[in-house]
């Protein structure tokens, strides 16, 4: 699902990272300074330097794009793939909690976060290939994958292209299985697929600030983003906005392809590993997530209540519950 409007991205962006910054180094060195989070929360870092062992590294794809990734912890590898416009900085609390048990990675997709901006390869299939090359770069035989929002589509693309041999367990967070609503669908089919727009072009325009309504584009996720009542979410968003400036021009290049992919065949036929699905009462994606659970053998579904911050941003609004539930699934 789409995450923020382009004007919002511009308005909320912080400083542009210097081109002289080095990578493969502690995050505090790459970012150039420490950071004090706005809210003090028991069990979460009060400042960036409290997160010992957090690194920001990079690798080069076969088509010549430098992709950055955030890394911390030891143990079994766990890779997070962010949604559209998102980046590893927003996973700061999730990484902090999980790195005590796992070797946690968050990859910044091309044209997002600290990764390189390019005008090519802006298709979900290429993002899936990037994920494959990242796993090869790490040199690991098996990984746990967790895709949130568009990141789930990237995992579905990876599975479609490369299969599940390298995946130990898969986790998907609140992503429609087909963003585009086909004109000949029944309402039941639309809900099962999660269709949220009848026009990819008008959807992209809406996320660029053009006037719209919920019959053209489901704007619920954007409204939920604006409701930053969670102190943990305030911390991770403030941290990301201080240090990350993604260019809306480059980020937008993938949106049409992202909107038009229909992943129902992959979800129904190609996911043969233990799977967990997360969504919430305040997300309009619940019907599609229930359908996904029904067609993936043995899949489990977590529907967070409104009190538990159950919406599109549940992992960041309630990182303590999410990471506990995720670890429980991974250990079963």
**Domain definitions of the chain by residue range:** 10-15+22-177+222-331
Residue 76's pLDDT band, with cuts at 50, 70 and 90, is very high
Q: What is the mean pLDDT of residues 4-20?
A: 37
Determine if residue 105 is left, alpha or beta; phi over 0 gives left, psi from -120 to 50 gives alpha, anything else beta. beta
Q: What is the mean pLDDT of residues 49-76?
A: 98
pLDDT-wise least confident of 4-18, 36-50, 89-103, 204-218? 4-18
Residue 319 above 90 pLDDT? yes
Quick: pLDDT tens for 184-197. 999 999 999 999 99
Residue 2 above 50 pLDDT? no
Strands 275-280, 300-304: pairing is parallel
Q: Rounded to an integer, what distance in angstroms lies between the CA atom of residue 104 and that of residue 112?
A: 19
Nearest to 275 by CA among 177, 176, 203, 172: 172
Residue 7 above 90 pLDDT? no
Q: Which residue has the higher pLDDT, 19 or 220?
A: 220
Residue 133 above 50 pLDDT? yes
pLDDT-wise least confident of 13-27, 28-42, 268-282, 294-308? 13-27
Residue 212's pLDDT band, with cuts at 50, 70 and 90, is confident
Nearest to 138 by CA among 78, 87, 65: 78
Q: What is the torsion angle, in degrees rounded to the nearest 10, for the CA atoms of residue 251, residue 210, residue 180 and residue 237? A: 50
User: What pLDDT was estimated at residue 225?
Assistant: 84
Q: Which residue has the higher pLDDT, 187 or 8?
A: 187
Beta-carbon contacts of residue 282 (< 8 Å; ≥ 6 apart): 220, 224, 306, 310, 311
Model-level pTM?
0.92
Residue 19 above 50 pLDDT? no
**Average pLDDT, whole number, for the chain?**
92
User: What pLDDT was estimated at residue 24?
Assistant: 64
User: What pLDDT was estimated at residue 213?
Assistant: 86
Q: Rounded to an integer, what distance in angstroms lies between the CA atom of residue 26 and that of residue 5?
A: 31
Residue 6's pLDDT band, with cuts at 50, 70 and 90, is very low
pLDDT-wise least confident of 169-183, 201-215, 270-284? 201-215
Q: What is the mean pLDDT of residues 72-77?
A: 97
Q: What is the mean pLDDT of residues 106-114?
A: 98
Give the domain 10-15+22-177+222-331 fold.
Rossmann fold (3.40.50)
Residue 216's pLDDT band, with cuts at 50, 70 and 90, is confident
Q: What is the mean pLDDT of residues 296-310?
A: 98
pLDDT-wise least confident of 3-12, 123-132, 226-235, 306-315? 3-12
- Nearest 5°: phi and psi at 41? -130, 125
């Amino acid at each position: 699902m789409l995450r923020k409007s382009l004007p919002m991205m511009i308005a909320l962006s912080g400083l542009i990272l210097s081109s002289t910054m080095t990578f493969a180094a502690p995050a505090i060195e790459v970012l150039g300074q420490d950071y004090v989070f706005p809210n003090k929360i028991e069990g979460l870092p009060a400042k960036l330097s409290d997160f010992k062992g957090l690194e920001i590294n990079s690798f080069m794809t076969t088509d010549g794009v430098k992709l950055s990734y955030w890394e911390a912890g030891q143990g079994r590898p766990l890779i997070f793939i962010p949604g559209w416009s998102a980046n590893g900085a927003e996973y700061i609390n999730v990484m902090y909690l999980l790195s005590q048990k796992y070797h946690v990675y968050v990859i910044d997709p091309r044209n997002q976060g600290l990764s390189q901006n390019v005008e090519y390869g802006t298709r979900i299939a290429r993002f899936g290939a990037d994920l494959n090359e990242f796993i090869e770069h790490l040199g690991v035989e098996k990984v746990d994958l967790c895709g949130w929002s568009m990141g789930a589509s990237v995992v579905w693309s990876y599975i479609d292209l490369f299969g599940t041999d390298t995946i130990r367990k898969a986790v998907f967070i609140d992503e429609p299985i087909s963003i585009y609503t086909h004109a000949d669908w029944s309402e039941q089919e639309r809900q099962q697929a999660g269709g949220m727009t009848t026009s990819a072009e008008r959807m992209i325009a809406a996320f660029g600030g053009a006037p719209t309504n919920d019959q053209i584009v489901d704007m619920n996720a954007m409204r939920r983003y604006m409701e930053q009542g969670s102190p943990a979410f305030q911390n991770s968003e403030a941290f990301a906005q201080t240090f990350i400036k993604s260019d809306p021009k480059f980020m937008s290049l993938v949106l049409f392809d992202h909107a038009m992919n229909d992943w129902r065949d992959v979800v129904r036929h190609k996911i043969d590993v233990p799977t967990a699905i997360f969504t919430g009462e305040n997300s309009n994606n619940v019907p599609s997530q229930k359908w996904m659970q029904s067609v993936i053998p043995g899949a489990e579904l977590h529907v967070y209540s409104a009190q538990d911050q159950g919406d599109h941003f549940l992992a960041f609004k309630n990182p303590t519950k999410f990471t506990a539930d995720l670890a429980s699934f991974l250990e079963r």
